[in-house]
Chain A
Amino acid sequence: SQTIHQWPATLVQPVGSPLSLECTVEGTSNPNLYWYRQAAGRGLQLLFYSVGIGQISSEVPQNLSASRPQDRQFILSSKKLLLSDSGFYLCAWIPGGNTIYFGEGSWLTVV
């Protein structure tokens, strides 16, 4: 079966600390993978997408970065978090065709 899993589900981090959110998928090879951010009460903002291992495209300049070390693994990172990085982060994928499926999300609060 095709599944997407991201973690952690929630985290509270101090300003200036690093961040690592991980997303893994199962059920297909070479999927397109995405990281979105959703600020409170706002829409979905595409941050990064990847069409293959080591291939990352950035949609919005920021202090976040993404990496795809394995075909089914997508990581969102930051070396130093800002208050404005708080939000709901969603990993997503397209296992085939056009349909994009989202993970359950990670709530990040930067304090």
Chain B
Amino acid sequence: GENVEQHPSTLSVQEGDSAVIKCTYSDSASNYFPWYKQELGKGPQLIIDIRSNVGEKKDQRIAVTLNKTAKHFSLHITETQPEDSAVYFCAADLYQTGANNLFFGTGTRLTVIP
């Protein structure tokens, strides 16, 4: 099955700086890579996703890059703000037996210091 690794587990940045979170996956058949933001006590919320036919996608201050050859993808947050503080999860999708089955990384706790 798929194995997703995520680094770092914790990340602190000064407000206004950029933050980068990296993930690797093991199964080259995975073709969908979402990122989720989870605030304390709430369910994860999708913030951006990318499919395997695209190398980069950007949405305002958030961007995701995908390197299929190396099997890694990254989340980039620019001009960080205190409200960006949360736990971020990456995931890879391996479609099997009729059920999309996301494999999640272990999460990165991002703290933006005002």
Contact = CB atoms under 8 A, between A and B. Distances in A.
Interface of A: 32, 42-44, 46, 49, 51, 57, 90, 92, 94, 98-105, 107
28 contacts: A32-B100, A43-B107, A44-B44, A44-B89, A46-B101, A46-B102, A49-B99, A49-B101, A57-B97, A90-B43, A90-B44, A94-B100, A98-B32, A98-B49, A98-B93, A98-B100, A99-B46, A99-B49, A100-B34, A100-B46, A100-B91, A100-B102, A101-B46, A102-B44, A102-B45, A104-B43, A105-B41, A105-B42
Interface residues of B, number: 24
B43 A103 contact: yes
Interface in B66-114: 89, 91, 93, 97-102, 104-107
Interface string B31-61: 0101010000111111001010000000000
